[in-house]
A and B are shown apart, each in its own frame.
Chain A
Amino acid sequence: MATDDRPGAGTTPALARLAGPLAALADNAAARRAGIVALLALMVVAPFVFGEYATVILTNALLYVVLALGLNVVVGYAGLLDLGYAAFFAVGAYTVGILTLRVGVNFWLTLPVAVCTAALAGVIIGGPTLRLRSDYLAIVTLGFGEIVRISARNMSITGMASGLSGIHQPWLFGWHIATPRDFYYLFCVLAILAVAVSVRLADSRLGRAWLYVRYDEDAAEAMGIDRVRVKLAAYVTGAIFGALGGVFFAVNLGAISPESFSFTQSVLILMAVILGGMGKIPGVILGAMIVILGPELLRSLGELRLLVFAVGLLLIMLFRPSGIWPGRGRQQ
């Protein structure tokens, strides 16, 4: 969010310059509070200041904040490498699509179903595999992601390769959430909720158990922590975040198709988590912003924009290997 008032500025040097003030911000509690208030104020006025195009992009960025925070629980808190996170995103999106279009269920009633389905999917895939070492877990989750995507492509209930379209935009107490600005505020609320839940989780018993398991599994086990259960909790929590992101993604776009849930999507979300500094909530938010806003700010470069973005990414990682967000970090 801190970079969006500088459109056109070269992403890399701008970020390097940001690092100093960011560090101060992270350390000083008063400055931090002021920063958060300023950020919230910016969030509220942004659509009026920057116009509709920026509103659409920011909405997308906020979606990634939610997804990245969810994946952060899995990767950053519990230390599990997940390369198939888009699968849960797909589960949420398709649950809404199928239930509202094929069964005729009210949108808000699909939310608990999506959460339950994602949790179930998390248990099914996580249950037997969370004992594996992380590289193996990575490929298992990747495989799971591909299985979900290919299944969506091949089954008629998911609309096959064309996907589902005509998903209706929801009403909330007489408010028809339809314009880009409506969705922007909806995603603002979602993102704030995601941040709040992430903060609470990190400070909870479970959060400390994750920290323990990540530092030393054996010691944690010896202390009476059931590591598989703790890991599963992280996995399922991440799945629920992903599914909720998918639910609102589906109603925002009104159409979903399998290509939205590819391996590339999972990688993009992972990139957001690690780029900003995994385990660090402001870092993850910043990462999501860069991953979405970066290519957008570079649109004027046309076909070279991804190349420039990739080089920028490389430079960021080389100069800030632990992620952009400064501070102690939970890693290492």
Chain B
Amino acid sequence: MGILNKAAAAGAVFVLVAGSAMAQGTLKIGVQVPTTGSEATYGRDMANAVVIAQDEINKAGGVLGKKLTMVIGDSACDPQQAVNAASKLVSQGVAGVVGGYCSGATLPTLKIYGDAKVPFVITASNSTKLIPANPGNAFMINSTGDQQATKATEFLASKGVKTLAIVNEGDAYSQDLANLTRDDWTKAGHKVVAFETANKGEQDYSAIVTAIRAANPDAVFWTAYYADGALLIRQLRQSGYRGVIAVGDGSNSTKLFDIAGRAAEGVYAFSNPIAQFLPAAKAFIKTYKAKFGNAPGPYAPLTYDGMRLLAWAITKAGTTQPAAVIKALASAHNEEWLAGPITFTKHNTLARSNFIVLEDKNNAWIRADK
């Protein structure tokens, strides 16, 4: 998209927002994602998913007879910025908030939404630190790291892997997953022969690759995101590494193949049920591609679900009264969504892990656990 188009679009959004504030019959939904800074890639992807959900809901008549309007709050993946954005969303009178990408930035906003009694559907952040900090109005629809670590340990052991190298990126999400997997893997009686940390945005992983090659593990597990994961996979294969490579749910995007290309052949990914394996999501992928020109990223389906879940809860409550909406959210029971059924535990986290295992065949995901 050209910069002029973007400026025009921004202008249009501005006019739209300004106009809608005057018009009756709209319902504002806050979208807390990073749209600037180093994590904007993921935030934009999540915001795009919300646009699709919003358009679909509005086309179907909206919620409680009102049209939904999304208001983006740029968290910039920074705790302070996130607090500012959250306060602004609250001051704009949003009926609910979806999003939450960087756990560190999501954490301090919990209190703000809690104090303002705004329902908050967290669609990506999944640090276990969020659970005790939740005042009760937040709902996490992304499975937590411990569930993924368990899945990874089970699956890799079933593939005959004995020695494992784990690589993370030093951020809350990937470090958490790496540590949890190390614990599970050791508990299962196997060995972690290398435990490495890369820097985000560093293009050269050769030093880590050499360290891994020296330890010669049966498998390498990358716990962070696809963009840097693709580079690591390329460089691992380039160096002649022939063992198993597995990646976490931050890397389950098909964009992994754009960058890693043929080097990603045979890579396993632990993942939420992704769009392509659900008949209902075919349309989502198509709409997304048509609208934004690229395939949906790793958190797009969950964020799409988050927006729909919130709309569903408001409809079910029959009002935007926070207490009623929060009650409706908590009552979600096995309704089918894009990324699978949602039922919450008493901690407002997903009741059961819905992780699946994918494998790259000719740069497309197939199910590896069936």
Contact = CB atoms under 8 A, between A and B. Distances in A.
Contacts of B102: 259
A227 to B, nearest CB: 36
Interface in A236-287: 253-257, 259-260
Contact of A253 (B83, B90, B91): B83
Contacts of A253: 79-80, 83, 108
Nearest to A164: B129
Contacts of B85: 299
A258 to B, nearest CB: 8
A53 B111 contact: no
A304 B87 contact: no
B35 interface: yes
B172 A161 contact: yes
Given A53-B91, A162-B103, A162-B104, A260 B80 contact: yes
Contact of A259 (B7, B10, B14, B78): B78
Contacts of A153: 170, 175
Interface string B1-32: 00000110010011001000000000000000
Interface residues of A, number: 32
A260 B87 CA distance: 18
| Residue of A160, A180, A259 with highest tally of chain B CB at under 10 A | A259
A163 interface: yes
Contacts of B35: 302-303
A255 B133 contact: yes
A296 interface: yes
Interface string B42-74: 001000000000000000000000000000101
Given A165-B133, A301-B10, A259 B36 contact: no
Interface string A122-166: 000000000000000000000000000010011000001111011
B84 A296 contact: yes
B171 interface: yes
Contacts of A259: 77-79, 102, 104-105, 171
B142 interface: no
A259 B72 CA distance: 22
Contacts of B264: none
Given A166-B133, A259-B79, A259-B104, A305 B176 contact: no
A259 B200 CA distance: 12
A303 B74 contact: yes
A180 B83 CA distance: 11
B40 interface: yes
Interface residues of B, number: 42
Contacts of B80: 60, 253, 260
A302 B170 contact: no
B271 interface: no
Which of A51, A161, A256 gathers the greatest number of chain B CB atoms within 10 Å? Answer: A161
A99 interface: no
A300 B87 CA distance: 14
A56 interface: yes
A53 B87 contact: yes
B92 to A, nearest CB: 8
A137 to B, nearest CB: 24
B189 interface: no
A160 B88 contact: no
B72 A163 contact: no
Interface in A193-225: none
A58 to B, nearest CB: 11
Interface in A47-93: 51-53, 56-57, 60
A14 B107 CA distance: 36
A15 B103 CA distance: 37
Given A161-B171, A255-B133, A259-B77, A304 B84 contact: no
Given A162-B176, A306-B36, A300 B14 contact: yes
Given A299-B88, A301-B10, A260 B172 contact: no
B253 interface: no
Given A53-B88, A256-B79, A304 B6 contact: yes
Interface of B: 6-7, 10, 13-14, 17, 35-37, 40, 44, 72, 74, 77-80, 83-85, 87-88, 90-91, 102-105, 107-108, 111, 127, 129, 132-133, 170-172, 175-176, 179, 197
Interface of A: 51-53, 56-57, 60, 150, 153-154, 160-163, 165-166, 180, 253-257, 259-260, 296, 299-306
15 contacts: A52-B87, A56-B87, A60-B80, A60-B83, A153-B175, A161-B170, A161-B172, A165-B132, A165-B133, A180-B87, A255-B108, A259-B79, A300-B14, A300-B17, A304-B10
